[in-house]
Structure 1
Amino acid sequence: MTSNDLTDHSSIPSEAALELLYGLREQALERGWSGTTERNVPIAEVREVFHRTVRLTGKEKELPNRIISTYLRELDGVDYIKASKKTDRERVPLPWSIKLLPVRSAIKTTPPMPPWHSELAWVEEYWALPRTTAKIRAAYEALNVWLHSATASQIMPLPVRERALRVFGRHGYFRQPQHPAEKILDTLKARPLFSDSDTLLKLICAFRVDPPLLTKSFRSIHLEEGSGYHPIPGKGRGLLIIENSTTYWSISHMLGHIDHRLGHVAWGIGHSFQASIGSITHKDQISDIVYFGDLDVSGLSIPIGAGRRNPSRLPPIRPAVELYDALFRLGTPGHCLPKEAKVSAAKAEELASWLHPRHRSQAVALMLRGERLAQEWVGLDYLSTDDRWCTDVR
């Protein structure tokens, strides 16, 4: 029996104390803790995590030190932490620091290999090497499953972040908050495969797209093979804002191939849109503003924040209903980053309030589960085969 196998139920820490413990562990893991050794945590970090994870009510707000002291004693008493004997000498003293105790064994075992697709048969000699981390193995597994899939041989080329979601977005490892699937190939450079960009892109049938140069024109743009970017005049005065650059590229590309009345499309650059909306004037002759972004706390807060700064001379921001429809239909949820993972029901309702009524309850449920849908799920493969997406934005 380990020290964490509690048989005396009277010694089990309170739920709030355990929330503090989980918050401390989560932060330590994000900062590189392996979980196999003790981890020193200064009391300042304990306070930070406490105020982020524990909600105080009433008179409790006046006694944070006393509550922290109680929780730390509870956790120390069952060997989850070790508190230093040195204190900060406050009226209600707190330990100078604490040590998180290990949560897993340092002995590493290599998981069994899956049956490899012929394109990945060479992975066998790298699988058990010390430098092959759990992340790299998970990437090989996800790629192997994708290559074995029935549609892998019939795919069309996609921008790399859209392809990354199809390859990695359904693997449990890459649905965790610290590993957003659409961005995995931005940073994964392990040898031999992931460091060889040309070979990798050919294998996964993907290509890289660069974010556009920013202009005041908001013009829809189209990338023809070998010709670069050039503007395509729109027939209307509507402005479509896209949160992320890859989806912006794919939608702009498709607007060059379909009959549409959309006058302008712009890359919102995430939260930058909240400020940049103020640069729109009467001279731009914008008749309506439609927004499409990630379905998560951050992505839904952007149009709300922009709307609050939106001068009365401009039309209100409305959602791209059919694009959000497609995102709910096509996407596999991943977990939000820790800072966004917890949201109250009231806050979730507020963030979803600007969406179309048929999407609000789905968005609220997604946020309350601490999950997200990256807009790159609505990729070039869908946009080029289904014209429903543009019916409410053109």
Structure 2
Amino acid sequence: MTANDLQAPGATPSEEAFELLSLLHNQALDRKWKRTTKKTIPIADVKEAFRRMAPPPGKEKELPNRVLSEYLRQLAGAGHMKRSPRTDGERVPLPMSITLAPIASAVRPILPMPPLCEELACVEGYWALPHTTDHIRRAYTALNTWLLRGDKGTPVPLRERALKIFGSDRHFQQPKHPAEKVFDGLNAKPLFSDRSTLLKIINAFDVDPPLLTKEYDSVPLEEDSGYHSPGEGRRLLVVENSTTYWSISHMLQRIDHRIGHVAWGIGGTFQKSIGSITPEDEISDIVYFGDLDVSGLRIPVNAGKRDSHLPPIRPAVELYDALFRLGEPGRCPPKEAKVSAAKAQELASWLDPRHRDQAVDLMVRGERLAQEWVGLDHLSTDERWHADVR
């Protein structure tokens, strides 16, 4: 920063006073000053900066404290700093400290509003309001971009639609903003707080997590149950997340298969709940499908270490194949962001050999693929997904 970069808000200090102010700013910046807050500097440090200046013309014989005091008076009068009331008590008294005024606004400029499509015209009046955060503006921008593409397709569950809208945006590929859950935490006016209108605009619908039951009798999909019995077979298909569980259960009503039961794994809960399966349940084999990340692969690996009476847990190969083809990686939470190649290889060894190298690369990079990328629109138009589980 140079003296020429500074302009007085009030009375104009001399060039020499501005030079001192520039030196004090640079000194403070070297000490991690954020520019948006006040900064108190002890007089010893002020003198240190002053000594780096050349004597002003015609004032070479003046007492240094007198010259410094005059510079500080000018800068304080122009609003660039404040002097402490206490002085050092010298013949030419100097303040014990000075406090620099902020030189940058703490308020960041808001994101520019894009030309909005007709469905988002209601957003315009809310864009610049204080409670509309940049996160909300980014969500509107991504939604606007998706709507302008005109690719609403058929109705799908909300989290699957969220991935289509936000999954390619780097802002929503962060751990605290996982793309598939963006709509879960948005309730801002005017649109995100109006759920029915939002769902209509994005051609999506809510899917509620099912109630849980241990009954394996045939249960109509209209009822809420932790297990669905869509067929007469003895195979159990376990799905990590509730939205994908709903979509797969929905599609199994429309195809021929040997899957006797479909279960919602409830994330990591499956590592323990698998122990509730007994020989009387007559489960012949267990097929699993979950997120592709450290925790998503740790779940079936740990579940497979449970009671020996249980059949082995194998991956739903074609569903994972679709996930690798359709998904766009997002960032993992910090606790999973760094995993050794050895650990990644250990977890990936559970997968089919064709997917192991891809999974290792994904985990080592600290990335993930949410299973909701394999959504209802894909399940309803592609028959390969159930080739190895039917």
Per the normalisation by structure 1, the TM-score is 0.71
Aligned to 1:158: 156
Rounded to whole Å, the distance in 1 between the matches of 2:205 and 2:221 is 13
Equivalent residues of 1:220, 1:263 under 8 A apart: no
- Cα drift, residue 356 of structure 1: 0.5
Aligned to 2:128: 128
- Cα drift, residue 124 of structure 1: 2.2
Report the CA distance shift for 1:375/1:189 in structure 2 as closer, same or farther (over 3 A): same
- Cα drift, residue 387 of structure 1: 1.0
Rounded to whole Å, the distance in 2 between the matches of 1:345 and 1:107 is 43
Question: Any idea what the Cα deviations from partners look like across 1:173-210, whole Å, max 9, x if unmatched?
Answer: 11111101111111111111111111111111111111
Aligned to 1:140: 140
2:301 to 287, 299, 304: 304
Structure 2: which 5+ runs fail to align?
A: 2-25, 39-101
Equivalent residues of 1:164, 1:183 under 8 A apart: yes
Equivalent residues of 1:218, 1:265 under 8 A apart: no
Rounded to whole Å, the distance in 1 between the matches of 2:114 and 2:131 is 19
| Correspondence 1:250-269 to 2 at 5 A | 250-269=247-266
Secondary structure of 2:280's counterpart equals helix
Aligned to 1:80: none
Read off the aligned partner of 1:355 and give its amino acid letter. Answer: L
Equivalent residues of 1:221, 1:256 under 8 A apart: no
Equivalent residues of 2:111, 2:134 under 8 A apart: no
Structure 1: which 5+ runs fail to align?
A: 7-33, 39-101
- Cα drift, residue 36 of structure 1: 6.8
Rounded to whole Å, the distance in 2 between the matches of 1:303 and 1:35 is 50
| Correspondence 1:137-286 to 2 at 5 A | 137-152=137-152, 155-217=153-215, 223=221, 232-286=229-283
Question: Any idea what the Cα deviations from partners look like across 1:38-93, whole Å, max 9, x if unmatched?
Answer: 9xxxxxxxxxxxxxxxxxxxxxxxxxxxxxxxxxxxxxxxxxxxxxxxxxxxxxxx
Aligned to 1:386: 382
| Correspondence 1:360-379 to 2 at 5 A | 360-379=356-375
- Cα drift, residue 111 of structure 1: 2.3
Secondary structure of 1:241's counterpart equals strand
Secondary structure of 2:262's counterpart equals strand
Aligned to 1:358: 354
- Cα drift, residue 231 of structure 1: 5.5
The structure with more radius of gyration: 2
- Cα drift, residue 157 of structure 1: 0.7
Rounded to whole Å, the distance in 1 between the matches of 2:130 and 2:168 is 26
Identity of aligned residues (%): 68
Aligned to 1:344: 340
| RMSD across aligned positions (CA) | 2.7
Report the CA distance shift for 1:324/1:285 in structure 2 as closer, same or farther (over 3 A): same
Aligned to 2:309: 313
Read off the aligned partner of 2:330 and give its amino acid letter. Answer: G
Secondary structure of 1:385's counterpart equals coil
Secondary structure of 1:318's counterpart equals strand
Rounded to whole Å, the distance in 1 between the matches of 2:122 and 2:314 is 50
Read off the aligned partner of 1:276 and give its amino acid letter. Answer: S
Read off the aligned partner of 1:250 and give its amino acid letter. Answer: S
Report the CA distance shift for 1:35/1:323 in structure 2 as closer, same or farther (over 3 A): farther
- Cα drift, residue 221 of structure 1: 5.5
Report the CA distance shift for 1:199/1:115 in structure 2 as closer, same or farther (over 3 A): same
Aligned to 2:44: none
2:331 to 310, 332, 335: 335
